[in-house]
């Protein structure tokens, strides 16, 4: 197995970091450079990355999201933003219409671009013997974060990334079985037992944060009434009608 594939297959989430460790500037730059080289639809690069260094801003983020104290304690905290403001400026320069609010297509493209950049940053950090954890729950306070970070219209904060020197050895988390995820040529139905088996695997794995079966967690999540926080922010930011 080559080193890159081994790194990818052994990636794990870290939430506990050495608070006194400072990532060298050159390593942070390497992570950011790697993120910017991620694939992008039409080379549009529809995202921005905010490097949050101000401890007061990071403390406020934790105050809104107390379940993720690593946002303050990690060496670096990045926020990945879907950014369609840059191409709005382009359209204004060409005096052309900018009709992105009429379809979800542009938002999907921007979200995908940001996610690809995020993954490059995760793997770059791993290659430097650092750990990281993705924070998707920042969207719960997307409006407040947009104001705090002075985000312009046509942007949306999607996820954060804490990076630092891990102080707790984490195990590689098991994934769903291949037959439930990988399909050749056409989508192949699989028995529900594949999900039941994964419930057993994850229960045996015994992650302390998990208080429910994997299947029960998502049955509960998707049965809850949507809060529509992101939907409202999309309209406020001019990203969707």
Residue 225 has pLDDT above 90, yes or no: no
Mean pLDDT of 226-238: 88
Share of the chain above pLDDT 90, in %: 92
User: CA-CA distance, 58 to 115, in Å (whole number)?
Assistant: 21
pLDDT digits (tens, 9 = 90+) for 57-81: 999 999 999 999 999 999 999 999 9
Residue 1 has pLDDT above 80, yes or no: no
Mean per-residue pLDDT of the chain: 95
pLDDT digits (tens, 9 = 90+) for 108-143: 999 999 999 999 999 999 999 999 999 999 999 999
**Full-model pTM:** 0.95
Mean pLDDT of 168-182: 95
- DSSP letter at 183? -
Residue 42 has pLDDT above 90, yes or no: yes
The residue to which tokens 């399909």 are assigned: 183
Q: Are 87 and 107 in contact (CB under 8 A)?
A: no
Q: Are 72 and 160 in contact (CB under 8 A)?
A: no
Give me the CATH topology for the region 3-172. NADH Oxidase (3.40.109)
User: CA-CA distance, 241 to 233, in Å (whole number)?
Assistant: 11
The residue to which tokens 């529900």 are assigned: 192
> Alpha carbon of 94 to those of 87, 131, 175: distances in Å?
10, 43, 48
């Amino acid at each position: 197995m080559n080193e890159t594939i081994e790194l990818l297959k052994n990636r794990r989430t870290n939430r506990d970091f050495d608070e006194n460790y400072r990532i060298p500037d050159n390593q942070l730059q390497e992570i950011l450079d790697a993120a910017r080289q991620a694939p992008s639809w039409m080379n549009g690069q529809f995202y921005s990355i905010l490097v949050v260094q101000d401890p007061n801003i990071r403390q406020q983020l934790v105050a809104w999201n107390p379940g993720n104290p690593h946002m303050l304690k990690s060496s670096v905290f990045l926020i990945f933003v879907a950014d369609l403001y840059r191409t709005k400026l382009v359209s204004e320069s060409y005096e052309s219409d900018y009709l992105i609010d009429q379809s979800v297509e542009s938002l999907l493209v921007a979200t995908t671009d940001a996610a690809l950049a995020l993954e490059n940053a995760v793997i770059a950090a791993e290659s430097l013997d650092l750990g990281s954890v993705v924070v998707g729950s920042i969207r719960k306070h997307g409006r407040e974060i947009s104001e705090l970070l002075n985000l312009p219209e046509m942007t949306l904060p999607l996820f954060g990334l804490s990076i630092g020197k891990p102080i707790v050895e984490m195990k590689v988390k098991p994934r769903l079985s291949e037959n439930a995820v990988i399909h050749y040529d056409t989508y192949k139905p699989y028995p529900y037992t594949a999900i039941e088996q994964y419930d057993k695997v994850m229960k045996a794995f015994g992650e302390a944060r998990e208080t429910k079966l994997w299947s029960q967690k998502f049955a509960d999540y998707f049965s809850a009434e949507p809060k529509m926080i992101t939907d409202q922010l999309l309209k406020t930011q001019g990203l969707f009608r």
